[in-house]
């Protein structure tokens, strides 16, 4: 490995605190990772990592080297991007964690203008419903909906998301129209599954939060399967507004319980807090913020 590659590997080790995780994510063996770090310590004449039963932590020398290595690697990346195109236009791969339906419906169809603006940038989507650890999996960016809980991440709010409660006209004609949250207990409700349990439906009643546990004949951990079940008249859905807004506008679905709708959920772009935001990643964040600002369903409110 050259010096820059060694620095990249050390940065990953410092951020994950685990040789094995770095080995899995980079495609090299664990002994190779350990050997590279040991060689770096020998070359510098300083111990960079403390090895304990709990994992790896940085020494004072390791912390200084880590901070300098991040700065050097990011500057090299930006320099290579500029030289490759003859100007300062961003280039390279941006690896993005995103949920399946949201990315497919609200981002991918609108990327043509992005690539016209940034022809040297490539996007690699890591599609999953699970909460992805960006550092461990070597990702640059995540698009996350809802309150943020990880203080080690940097974030920029780029949009908002309303929830809609909906059903088909045919279902309502058969089963009746609920006018209060508690009446949902008398209906078939299409649940979105999270960690093998139905995700509670959130509402507000007189300013106070209210939760309802949906029950019905169909459930799924995929938002588009939930939408398909609702459109088939199998029950009531309560999901992200962007999932249903086109169906409501076309008359295929009827909105319900609007007066009990919860506050909009924030949408954030999130990246590792230890990293300076590279030009290629900033280009993606800026574009998504612009894209969502032009969309009444997704703009910040």
3-state secondary structure 38-102: HHHHHHHCCCCEEEECCEEEECHHHHHHHHHHHHHHHHHHHHHHHHHHCCCCCCEEEEEEECHHH
For residue 82, the model assigns a pLDDT of 57
Query: Model confidence over 58-73: pLDDT tens digits?
Result: 899 988 898 888 888 8
Residue 58 tokens, joined: 């940085």
Domains of the chain: 3-84 (1.10.10.10), 89-158+265-293 (3.40.190.10), 163-260 (3.40.190.10)
Residues 146, 165: Cα–Cα separation, whole Å = 18
Residues 250, 243: Cα–Cα separation, whole Å = 13
Residues 6, 21: Cα–Cα separation, whole Å = 16
What pTM, to 2 d.p., does this model score? 0.75
Coil, strand or helix at 20:
helix
Query: Model confidence over 57-114: pLDDT tens digits?
Result: 889 998 889 888 888 887 787 676 555 444 567 888 999 999 999 999 999 999 999 9
Nearest to 231 by CA among 250, 247, 249: 247
Residues 225, 237: Cα–Cα separation, whole Å = 11
pLDDT per 10-residue tile (average), the chain, 301 residues? 88 85 86 92 92 81 87 76 58 93 96 96 92 84 87 88 97 98 97 91 94 95 96 97 96 98 94 78 96 95 87
Residues 6+ apart with CB under 8 A from 83: none
Residue 200 tokens, joined: 């509670």
């Amino acid at each position: 490995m050259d010096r820059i590659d060694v620095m990249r590997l050390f940065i990953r080790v410092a951020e994950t605190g685990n040789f094995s995780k770095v080995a899995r994510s980079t495609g090299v063996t664990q002994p190779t990772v350990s050997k590279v770090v040991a060689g770096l310590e020998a070359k510098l004449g300083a111990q960079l990592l403390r090895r304990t039963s709990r994992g790896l932590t940085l020494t004072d020398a390791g912390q200084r080297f880590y901070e300098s290595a991040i700065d050097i690697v990011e500057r090299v990346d930006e320099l290579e991007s500029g030289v490759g195109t003859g100007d300062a236009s961003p280039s390279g791969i941006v690896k993005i964690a995103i949920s399946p339906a949201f990315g497919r419906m609200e981002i991918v169809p609108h990327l043509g203008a992005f690539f016209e603006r940034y022809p040297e940038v490539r996007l690699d989507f890591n599609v999953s419903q699970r909460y992805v650890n960006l550092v461990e999996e070597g990702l640059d960016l995540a698009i996350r909906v809802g309150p943020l809980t990880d203080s080690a991440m940097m974030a920029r709010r780029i949009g908002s998301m309303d929830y809609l409660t909906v059903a088909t006209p045919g279902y309502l004609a058969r089963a009746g129209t609920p006018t209060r949250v508690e009446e949902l207990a008398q209906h078939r409700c299409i649940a979105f599954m999270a960690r093998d349990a139905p995700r509670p439906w959130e509402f507000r009643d007189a300013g106070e939060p209210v939760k309802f546990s949906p029950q019905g004949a169909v459930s799924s951990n995929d938002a588009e399967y939930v939408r398909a079940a609702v459109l088939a008249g199998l029950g009531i859905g309560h999901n992200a507004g962007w999932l249903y807004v086109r169906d409501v506008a076309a008359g295929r679905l009827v909105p319900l319980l609007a007066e009990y709708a919860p506050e909009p959920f924030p949408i954030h772009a999130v990246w590792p807090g230890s990293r300076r935001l590279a030009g290629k990643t900033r280009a993606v964040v800026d574009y998504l913020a612009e894209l969502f600002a032009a969309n009444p369903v997704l703009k910040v409110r």
